[in-house]
Copies of this chain bind each other. A is one copy, B any other.
Amino acid sequence: MIVVMRQNATEDEIHGVIRVAENADLKVHVSRGEERTVVGLIGDVRRLDADTIAFLPGVERVVRILQPFKLASREFMPSRSPVPLGGVLFGGDGDEVPVIAGPCAVESEESMMRIARLVAGAGAAVLRGGAFKPRTSPYSFQGLGEPGLHILAKARELTGLPVVTEVVSPQDVELVGAYADALQIGSRNMHNYALLHEVGRQPKPVILKRGMMSSVEEWLMAAEYILSAGNTNVILCERGIRTFETSTRNTLDLSAVAVVKKLSHLPVIVDPSHATGRADMVVPMALAAVACGADGLMVEVHDDPASALSDGPQSLRPEAFADMMRRLEPVAKAVGRRIAAPPGRKVAGGHEWGDQRDDEHSGQSPQKRAHGPASASECAG
């Protein structure tokens, strides 16, 4: 930590800083320039609040040298850390790029089953669907709740694909964890520390979406909350940040993918659907995400977006999704990777998921595995 003193700082003020630093067991290095004196603090300054120092008399500015996150950092773990999600691997050696797909919200069993079958047939590796929906209006559809979780579990049985769904309240973490293969923290809850702490205390992997107005550093600090609570399976998901531009719902920050990969060992995936809010932007941004190194994609698909209960305009129709999957493959290959096959299958895409595979999953019910992280993928693969 570097403490820059004001131009007219007195010796007393300089010593005030030194005293605070030495009380915190830090070594001190004083450097007197022509216009400014600078005090360097050496040692583990993570516990020392930069703001506290900043307020000391005579201090102009404090500059942190170390990153504020530790467990999430590359320095803590130089190699990349793969995160298994129901038989599908995110990150790791990094050549597989799984695609998570499904409707924004679970609306009905019939609709979910139909969409699940379609996206599985097109090569999705993980299913998504919201049972608890954070909505800006109290008058909008808020999700089916637990019945939605039941439906998701059925979709998993049908397709053999693991499922991920959002959790919005600490009280629901256990319930959601009993059904889902991974828990999603949405953009609006990235700063909900009570929730982060709770998902950090359970074993299912967590997909942590970037807050729409969070810096990369704050995002990694949110991951640090989960990691420091004991859960090491965190997948970061870039989903656009809020800017002045209004032609897309948010501004997809693909540079953040590259930045995160420099700073952290955690896998980072991209959600082009929420980022752009426009179905016609999803495919180009998905291609770009894979080209720049994303470890996965999360894409909304709906077979009747005009009647979708939420986020219709950003959902791909199934045929557009299938087309996207076909176009992703050569781009992934061009950067030395490949689109991940669904768990239990050797290659992505190709043909509709066969009936006999469904049989392999028969007999599995969420109740049976309520207390373990077991998932369809374990059976499938």
Contacts and interface: CB of A to CB of B under 8 A. Distances in A.
Interface residues of A, number: 114
Total copies of this chain within the assembly: 4
Nearest to A29: B31
Interface stretch (A80-88, A238-246, A361-369): A238-246
Contacts of A330: 333-335
The majority secondary structure among interface residues of chain A is mixed
A46 B242 CA distance: 25
A51 B56 CA distance: 30
A375 B139 CA distance: 33
B335 A327 contact: yes
Interface in A288-339: 288-293, 305-313, 315, 327, 330-331, 333-335
Given A65-B38, A256-B245, A257-B284, A134 B191 contact: yes
A188 B20 CA distance: 31
Contacts of A344: none
A66 B36 contact: yes
Interface stretch (A94-102, A118-126, A209-217): A209-217
9 contacts: A34-B44, A46-B139, A52-B312, A188-B191, A188-B192, A188-B193, A241-B244, A241-B245, A252-B253
A363 to B, nearest CB: 34
A280 B262 contact: yes
